[in-house]
């Protein structure tokens, strides 16, 4: 059994008597679920990331917060809080709407990751929110008395520069906005120029589907987030698979594709889903953190995965913060690599599988 970290220990200590049915949200190593089960509770586990879900201890019932889960018996929620306030707000809405009326939520975090907006995010769905005393640079926010539920996530927005309607849950990277790196990747993929004005015009033009044209080939949006890249590629005529390890991301991508009336096959997976092979194109804006910690290991693994999934001659298009050491990794795992776009912060590289 994994040793709980200081945040998990504080959450557990603050919760005290757990009651019969406990929901653990985003348990990073299964430690909270194991500790709750050892106290005799029936444990439900809601993990946004499939890697966390796979580490839930045997006997834990996995639930998906994006899919109207039955949480009616849950009176205690143990939750290492995510960094994004939008993710806290989204999950708080689900908990308030679906848990027992006398539920108490114990959301913990390192002091450096807790911001006052998280109290407000919890306070939008719970009438009572208070903070514990700090311990080992960590703290717990306790939320109770759910208020009548108002569901405000997933949210939608029109990305006029791409002519795309984006739909996103609160835990998704960039939620309903267009990340700068993603914008640069799309400019590179669609042949639009780097100048904002001229680029936007040319990009709009190049986002039209080829009239009656052939399918361009099989493409993968690897780590699809809200599904903007997948949607643009599908509109261009690619046969698109989109994948992400996050439940919120795959649910968002499905909604974004539907909102734009394009067909995209969406799968939740750690890296390239098994069976997705012989690709002509992989497009990827890789993650730079895992939970609250900076971590490039998933990006390295995704580049290597892309190398295995491309057919000879197929291409990986990758955007990343230019200080990161991804170019030699792409060259090693995929093949010859060139820089196709750059701005002061980001690089887009294209690697061809040999």
Ligand X SMILES: C[S@@+](CC[C@H](N)C(=O)[O-])C[C@H]1O[C@@H](n2cnc3c(N)ncnc32)[C@H](O)[C@@H]1O
By the criterion CB under 6 A, which residues form the site for ligand X? 173-174, 179, 182, 223-226, 228-229, 243-246, 249, 270-271, 285-287, 298
In terms of CB distance, is 66 or 119 closer to ligand X? 66
Q: Who's near 203: CB < 8 A, 6+ residues apart?
A: 161, 162, 186, 187, 190, 192
Q: Are 50 and 245 in contact (CB under 8 A)?
A: yes
In terms of CB distance, is 15 or 236 closer to ligand X? 236
In terms of CB distance, is 108 or 271 closer to ligand X? 271
In terms of CB distance, is 19 or 181 closer to ligand X? 181
In terms of CB distance, is 24 or 249 closer to ligand X? 249
What letter does residue 261 receive in the DSSP assignment? T
**Least CB distance from residue 340 to ligand X, whole Å?**
16
**Least CB distance from residue 123 to ligand X, whole Å?**
27
Closest C-alpha to 245, from 299, 293, 294: 299
How far apart (Å, rounded) are the C-alpha atoms in residues 312 and 278? 8
Tokens standing for residue 274: 């098994």
In terms of CB distance, is 14 or 26 closer to ligand X? 26
**Least CB distance from residue 277 to ligand X, whole Å?**
16
**Least CB distance from residue 280 to ligand X, whole Å?**
18
Q: Are 54 and 110 in contact (CB under 8 A)?
A: no
**Least CB distance from residue 243 to ligand X, whole Å?**
6
How far apart (Å, rounded) are the C-alpha atoms in residues 23 and 14? 15
How far apart (Å, rounded) are the C-alpha atoms in residues 132 and 282? 46
Q: Are 300 and 330 in contact (CB under 8 A)?
A: no
**Least CB distance from residue 222 to ligand X, whole Å?**
7
């Amino acid at each position: 059994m994994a040793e709980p970290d200081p945040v998990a220990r504080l959450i557990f200590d603050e919760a005290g008597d757990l009651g019969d049915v406990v929901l653990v949200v985003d348990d990073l190593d299964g430690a909270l679920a194991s500790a709750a089960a050892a106290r005799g509770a029936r444990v439900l586990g809601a993990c946004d990331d499939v890697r966390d879900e796979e580490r839930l201890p045997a006997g834990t019932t996995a639930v998906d917060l994006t899919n109207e889960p039955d949480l009616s018996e849950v009176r205690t929620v143990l939750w290492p809080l995510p960094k994004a306030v939008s993710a806290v707000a989204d999950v708080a809405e689900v908990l308030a709407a679906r848990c027992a009326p006398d539920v108490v939520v114990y959301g913990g975090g390192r002091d450096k990751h807790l911001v006052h907006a998280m109290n407000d995010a919890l306070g939008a769905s719970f009438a009572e929110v208070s903070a514990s005393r700090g311990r080992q640079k960590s703290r717990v926010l306790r939320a109770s008395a759910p208020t009548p539920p108002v569901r405000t996530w997933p949210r939608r927005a029109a990305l006029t520069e791409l002519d795309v309607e984006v739909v996103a849950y609160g835990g998704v990277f960039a939620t309903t906005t267009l990340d700068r790196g993603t914008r640069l990747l799309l400019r590179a993929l669609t042949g639009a120029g780097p100048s904002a004005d001229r680029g936007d015009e040319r990009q709009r033009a190049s986002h039209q589907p080829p009239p009656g044209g052939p399918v361009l080939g099989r493409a993968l949006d690897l780590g699809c987030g809200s599904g903007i890249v997948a949607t643009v590629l599908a509109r261009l005529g690619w046969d698109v698979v989109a994948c992400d390890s996050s439940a919120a991301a795959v649910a968002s991508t499905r909604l974004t594709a539907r909102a734009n009336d394009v067909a995209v096959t969406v799968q939740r997976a750690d890296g390239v889903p098994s069976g997705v092979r012989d690709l002509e194109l992989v497009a990827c804006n890789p993650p730079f953190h895992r939970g609250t910690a900076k971590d490039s290991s998933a990006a390295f693994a995704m580049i290597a995965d892309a190398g295995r999934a491309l057919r000879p001659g197929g291409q990986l298009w990758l955007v990343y913060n230019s200080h990161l050491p991804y170019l030699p990794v792409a060259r090693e795992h995929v093949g010859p690599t060139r820089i196709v776009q750059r701005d002061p912060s980001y690089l887009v590289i294209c690697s061809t599988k040999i």
